[in-house]
Chains A and B, each alone.
Chain A
């Protein structure tokens, strides 16, 4: 099949994204994810099925089925900015590995136009799917949320063993890999937990950067909007000082890595 005719399910396209890979990027948000991270700022992304979301008194349907060609029409509008900045397209979600046919076709199409590709992924996927996407991804932005599998399961709905195995495999085979850590109080925002992740990241070949992404609650209202309860309403975002302390802990644990706060 022609890759431009491949269909997939997305819920948003965001242009002028500057914190998710090099240059100016367009992010395509895919719908559906294997994990259920309790802090997720896009809760409407988790279910694959179409959903109603009510915000500010208005209800809209989240999710739409599109072809790669349609998405490319939107992506191409910012071509001038990609070429000026070395930017391109980032697939996010949801989880792009949950729609491997669509993701692969879209990444190939982006490459055909000469833009760079990146994916933001949980790496919760089969090896077969990882292998399928690997050749078409210039930059992996991979989340490692916790080194303790049980705690990972409690907060994200799944254990972390598949993720860690895939992280090691991707590190051995990817062109570029950045490890990102959503830093969430009561979950992983302690010096020990961050240091453990940093040591793991440090052990991966060719990983040069570790990004600590401070927890924020900007997505909180959307939980009520899709009829769900937000279970983290009792926590507050880490302060700048706390983030600096965690970054220092990560740097101490992994002196080889460039550690930064934010993407």
Chain B
């Protein structure tokens, strides 16, 4: 039996820090946008890499800084708690039409003052035609751009509009050697250059940009040291004054010089984490193996008797709070896909070291304790599990799971290490992996993984099979033939694979256009210098300077496609109970069911517009009729409706993925491979390869909203299944059966990560004995080579009540496909999706 270790008293400071952070709605600020614009106007004669470092320096010299009440770790990108800056060099057009609505939109609202709007409106015109987004669009073939923007087959929107992020950097190097050592490295690299080299200029400019960026960060820390000293001078409370002076001392020392204590290491870590976010607008900048690189100074201070567990815990808790201070504003559509103000800062504990020895230490436990203390969405806490993980670590993790925060996410070393070795990592590097963002494994500080490169909707190629490649009146897919003429399931499935491959190629093309644009317009010298081998090669990450380069777009919809393809196989081809023509018509008529009211409103507007354009007279009655037809499917003839009901019940009676049925699960594996296998053959502009992920974050809801009915009985515009799990409500044999099904997929080939969500009722984790069983359950799933799993432990009633009374549940955290979010900040449809997921552990 295990033991619950490291239950440490929480400092009263922590709750006060949190209360301050969450007192107001997050706010957009204009300072960075103004500063980057001013700098760019001054540097038009410089190469892009130098313009980037000059802008970074100019921002850090001039952006307002603040020390929040009672903070021990300082550094904020915005004056307002949880505020955010904007990054017009990536894209800005989307923000302008949202100025009036962004404070009231459903997903991730932000306050924006009139003054900020005016300031942003002044700087935006400069960027017209100059953004990453503009160049990416110009680089795409027009028909691909059209498919991406207008047909919802896939989206590369994330990096099309924003920075990439999705990186882990060498925090250890900064903590132990300081940025001054990196400056020295860059100088040494420059000294090695000789004028006869073909890329002399490019390399020299890169090193100069690195030096300028590091110096800018050191100077920024000095501004904080000054501020702390000034505040100390006016501080009436002697205890706080002493704290401020210690903060001043820390900021004088780090991150320029090596940290000497655990506290200095925490501050050094934080400046890096914060300023990476300030340099680019990327999310998923992931601390990675925090318990490993923070441990040496922790141990040194503990051994010397100058640090206690309680004090160390307080510092860690403070960092956890700070991770929630960083924020980012996305356009309304992306905000739905990444709902919950998530920055996906993934921090992972446990697992083995480069030598293959278990590396769990005190900090591994204390990181979990910190999550229990702060109870906030960030960091995305993860735990590595392997055959030699200490049982007590898993018991601790299970006890965190029980809190219902949706963390930690569990990762299986036994699957991930060989999976990434197959992509060319050395054994040592593979053993030292961390997780980026939602679920993406990589060797930290050595990889530009471009994880999250796109969402690929695996349901849409099937729609193209039924339409012979047509979508919204346009031939965007292949002509795979009239579906009614197909004579075998093999022919049908083959058409699906062809349509899918066609779309995959478009997505690859779109990704590479975006990738190239980042290299040209937004190379990031600061981020690059913290990642191997950029300094050595004199090349930024965005231009391919990393040791390992990948592009990882993620597909989703395996469960729906497995059930859908099998429904066609069984009902149309094998048993001939439904003709293909009937199936096609049933899908077009949404099985005779009305569509979602929200979608009906959209379509009504569209249809009436078309009617008016065609010269028809439209009055209130016409509009009402159109709307009623859509919501009640009144135009579908009753005889047809009855037949559709029959078809639906035939589909419902078929066995489904997620119920531990080996034949169906092995077909699901084949369906997964239709996406993962072809991707392996493509390359990116940074000299790397593509690798597939299988997870939707929360895009299964907004992209499901653009997808018609599917032959698995899924109605039009409703959510697609999340991750690699079964479609909502279709797994009826309990969590072990579901886990067995999911484990039968080929997780190893999806080396950009797979995601398996399960929801447990609290009764499944109530006692120490049930924690033991929970750990055994997890072990059983991983024994069968599952790659990732995460658990929501909340009751259905709790969620429904939270939906009705959001004010009562401001701090209710749920795991939404790969990360934790505040439930009440999610859109209504996503809340419904979470509630609808099968619930386990209820009483018989």
- The docked-state distance in angstroms from the alpha carbon of A68 to that of B734 is 21
Among B763, B773, B843, contact of A85 (Cβ-Cβ < 8 Å): B773
Residues of chain B within 8 A (CB-CB) of A159 are: none
Check A80/B844 contact, CB under 8 A, given A15-B733, A16-B736, A18-B770. Answer: no
Q: Which residues of A contact B730 (CB under 8 A)?
A: none
- In the complex, are the beta carbons of A41 and B844 less than 8 A apart? yes
CB distance from A91 to the nearest CB of B (A): 14
Q: Is A234's CB within 8 Å of the partner chain B?
A: no
B773 in contact with A77 (CB, 8 Å)? no
Is B660 engaged at the interface, CB distance under 8 Å to the other chain?
yes
Q: Is A203 an interface residue (CB 8 A)?
A: no
Kindly list chain B residues whose C-beta atoms are within 8 Å of the C-beta of A24: 736, 773, 776-777, 780
Q: Which residue of A lies closest to B779 (CB)?
A: A84
Do A18 and B764 form a contact, CB below 8 Å, given A23-B776, A218-B843? Answer: yes
Among the listed B736, B763, B764, B770, which residue makes an inter-chain contact with A15, where contact means beta carbons less than 8 Å apart? B736
B773 touches A80 (CB 8 A): no
B737, A77: Cβ atoms under 8 Å? Answer: yes
Bitwise, B412-431 to A at CB < 8 A (1) or not (0) is 00000000000000000000
Determine the distance from Cα of A77 to Cα of B734 in the docked complex, in whole angstroms: 12
Whether the pair B844, A78 counts as a contact (CB closer than 8 A) is: no
Taking a contact as CB atoms under 8 Å apart, the answer to whether B776 and A16 are in contact is: no
Instruction: Write the nearest CB–CB distance from B392 to chain A, whole angstroms.
Output: 16
Contact indicator A80/B737 (Cβ below 8 Å): no
User: Quick one: closest A residue to B776, CB to CB?
Assistant: A85
Q: Is the CB of A18 within 8 A of B660?
A: no
Distance, CA A218 to CA B733, complexed state (A): 19
For the complex, would chain B's binding face be called helix, strand, loop or mixed by DSSP majority? helix
The answer to whether A16 touches B783, judged by C-beta atoms less than 8 angstroms apart, is no
A16 to B763, CA, bound (A): 13
Q: How large is the interface on B (under 10, 10 to 19, 20 to 34, 35 or more residues)?
A: 20 to 34
Residues of B within 8 A of A23 (CB): 773, 776
In the complex, are the beta carbons of A16 and B779 less than 8 A apart?
A: no
B841 cross-chain contacts in A, Cβ below 8 A: 16, 18
A14 touches B844 (CB 8 A): yes
A87 and B776 within 8 A (CB): yes
Q: Are A77 and B783 also in contact (CB < 8 A) when A18-B773, A85-B776 are?
A: no
A262–B770 Cα distance when bound, in Å, is 12
Within 8 A of A (CB), among B711-768: 733-737, 740, 763-764, 766
| Binary B-proximity of A17-35 (CB < 8 A = 1, otherwise 0) | 1110001100100000000
CA distance A81 to B660 in the complex (A): 14
Return chain B residues, CB-CB under 8 Å to A27.
844
- Establish whether residues A80 and B784, one from each chain, have CB atoms under 8 Å apart when the complex forms: yes
Is B772 part of the binding interface, using a Cβ–Cβ cutoff of 8 Å? yes
For B843, what are the chain A residues with a Cβ–Cβ distance below 8 Å? 41, 216, 218
CB distance from B801 to the nearest CB of A (A): 19
| B772:A85 contact, CB within 8 angstroms | yes
Q: How far is the CA of A78 from the CA of B738 in the complex (A)?
A: 11
Residue in chain A with minimal CB distance to B660: A77
B68: interface (CB < 8 Å): no
From B735, B766, B784, A16 is in contact (CB under 8 Å) with B735
Whole-angstrom CA separation of A91 from B396 in the bound complex: 32
Q: Is the CB of B777 within 8 A of A85?
A: yes
B844 touches A84 (CB 8 A): no
Flag whether B119 is at the interface (Cβ < 8 A): no
- Kindly provide the distance from the CB of A184 to the nearest chain B CB, expressed in whole angstroms: 15
- Complex: how many Å from CA A17 to CA B840? 10
Query: Is the beta-carbon distance between A81 and B776 smaller than 8 angstroms?
Result: yes
In the complex, are the beta carbons of A16 and B734 less than 8 A apart? yes
Docked Cα-Cα span, A23 to B776, in Å, equals 8
Select from chain B the residue with minimum beta-carbon distance to A77: B660
List residues 182-225 of chain A with CB under 8 A from any CB of chain B.
216, 218
Q: Which residues of B contact A (CB under 8 A)?
A: 660, 733-737, 740, 763-764, 766, 770, 772-773, 776-777, 779-780, 783-784, 840-844
Q: Apart from A16-B841, A78-B736, list 4 A-B contacts with CB within 8 A.
A: A41-B844, A78-B740, A84-B780, A218-B842
